[in-house]
Homo-oligomer: A and B are copies of this chain.
Amino acid sequence: MSVTTKATIASFGGKLLKLSHQSKVTGTEMNFNLFLPPQVTTNALHKAPVLIWLSGLTCTPDNCTEKGFFQHGASKKGIAVLYPDTSPRGANIQGEDESYDFGSGAGFYVDATVDPWSKNYKMYSYITEELPSTVFENFKQLDSSRVSITGHSMGGHGALSLFLKNPGKYKSASAFAPIANPLKAPWGEKAFKGYFGESDWQSKGAEHDSTELLKKWKGGPLDILIDVGTGDNFYKQKQLLPENLVEAAKSIGQDTAVNVRFQPDYDHSYFTMASFADDHVDHAAKYLFA
């Protein structure tokens, strides 16, 4: 599980690494970025916890790295940030590059079960298992026992669903403008039908739908931070449905489990993430350093 370093860039006192590896899970070369905070680049004895950032539709590891401003807060707190890609690339599947919301750049953090996608599109296994294994094997200055997760839009869906499917695996979760109930949203329906098939998409999709997962949550008290802009067109188009997640929390008696902050006028862009990135790093830090 060797890793190729494509670039080493100084950023906020630490190092931003542009990396790639040959994934056995997806069968493709996968790019990812890793920010190492100054606490580990200058002190060999320090071990840093990790915040995983899952990006939204169309994004590569670079978008949030350049525009999300997470290094600012992560540098202060001593947290590494892992920026994976959003899908396999170059799998040579017919139609993989035809849609912005399906195929390349749109893996939806699930393991596809139907042809032709099931061979390569295994982003759930990739993000929960292979990528962190690879990272912790190659970067001993990171602490595999302290990992939190966050993300945007499709990546917000990814962050919340991975967190809720794997109690205890992540210390905390937060999201920007997450697709919080994909079974009820056009983006989610298209992705689940494509990756799970017309007959199974609702049952298999429910296993990856944060609202459905939260209704069945048996773990302890939750504290999920979510920011949604009131100027977000995809929120207005009901692609996100954060209210459904709040209702699900109430249905299990955890009224305060999901803290949705509606940010006035903010849109779906990285300007919103940059504006509140520090808050999400602080939220993760509260649990990573508890």
Binding site for B on A (CB under 8 A): 9-13, 15-16, 66-67, 69, 71-72, 229, 231, 263-267, 269-272, 274-275
Residues of B within 8 A of A9 (CB): 267, 269, 271
Least Cβ–Cβ distance between A83 and chain B, in angstroms: 13
Point out the residues of chain B lying under 8 angstroms from A267, CB to CB.
9-10
> How many copies of this protein are present in the complex?
2
Q: Which residues of B contact A15 (CB under 8 A)?
A: 265
CB distance from A7 to the nearest CB of B (A): 9
B69 touches A271 (CB 8 A): no
In the bound complex, CA of A267 to CA of B15 (Å)? 12
* CB pairs A–B below 8 angstroms (9 shown): A9-B267, A9-B269, A10-B272, A10-B275, A66-B270, A69-B69, A69-B274, A72-B72, A72-B274
- Give the docked Cα–Cα distance between A263 and B11 (Å): 11
Shortest Cβ gap from A57 to chain B (Å) = 18
Task: Please tell me which one of the listed residues B12, B264, B265, B266 contacts residue A274 in the complex, with CB atoms under 8 A apart.
Answer: B12
Q: Which of chain B's residues has its CB closest to A9's CB?
A: B271
Kindly list 8 other residue pairs between chains A and B, CB separation below 8 angstroms, not including A72-B72, A72-B274.
Answer: A9-B269, A10-B229, A10-B264, A10-B271, A10-B275, A11-B271, A12-B274, A66-B270
In the complex, the answer to whether B10 meets A266 with C-beta atoms within 8 Å is: yes
Contact partner of A10 (CB less than 8 A), chosen from B11, B13, B231, is B231
A270 surroundings in chain B (CB, below 8 A) = 66
Q: State whether B16 touches A271 (Cβ < 8 A).
A: yes
Q: Is the CB–CB distance between B69 and A275 below 8 Å?
A: no
**Whole-angstrom distance between the alpha carbons of A200 and B131 in the complex?**
59
